[in-house]
Structure 1
Amino acid sequence: MLVLAWPLVLTNLTQFALTLTDTVFLGRLGTQELAAATLGMNLFFAALAPCFGLAMAAAPMTAQTRGRGHGFVRGMRRDVRAAFWAVAGATLPIWLLLWQAEALLLALGQQPALAALAGDYVRALMWGMPCFCAFVALRGFLAAEQRPGAALVVSCFGILLNIPLNLWLIHGGLGVPPLGVVGAGIASSLCNLAMLAGLLLLIARDRHLRRFRILGRWWRFDASRLKETAVIGLPIAGSMLLEIGVFAFAALVMGWMGALAVAAHAIAVQLASATFMVPMGIGQAATARVGLATGAGDRAAAERAGWVALALGAGFMAFSAALLILFGGWIAWGFLDAANPGAAETARLAAALLVVAGLFQLADGVQAVASGALRGLKDTRVPMLLAGFGYWVAGLPLGLLLAFPGGLGPVGVWIGLAVGLFLVAGLMTWRWRGLSRGDRLTARRRPA
Structure 2
Amino acid sequence: MNGEYDTIAAIATPPGRGGVSIVKISGHRSLQIAMQIAGQEPQVRVVQVARFRNADGILIDQGLLLYFKGPASYTGEDVVEIHGHGGAVVPQLLLDCVIRLGARHARPGEFTERAFLNGKLDLAQAEAVVDLIESRSVQAAKMAIRSLQGYFSDEVRRLSNALLDIRVHVEGVLDFPEEDPALLADGAILDRLLGTRQSLERMLENSRKGQLFREAVRVVIIGRPNVGKSSLLNRLSGSERAIVMATPGTTRDVIEQSMFLDGLQIEVVDTAGVHETEDPVEREGVRRTLREMENADLILLISDSDEGLSADRRYFEPWLDPDKKLIQVRNKIDLDCDHAKRSGSVAADRVFLSARTGNGLPLLMDTIREAAGLTIRDENVYLARSRHIEALQQAGYHLGAAYAWMSRQSSLDLAAEELLQAHQCLGRITGEIHSDELLGEIFSRFCIGK
TM-score above 0.5: no
Larger RCO: 1 or 2 (CA < 8 Å, sep 6+): 1
- The structure with more strand, counted as a fraction of residues: 2
The TM-score, its normalising length taken from structure 2, stands at: 0.22
- The structure with more helix, counted as a fraction of residues: 1
Which of structures 1 and 2 has the bigger CA Rg? 2
The TM-score, its normalising length taken from structure 1, stands at: 0.22
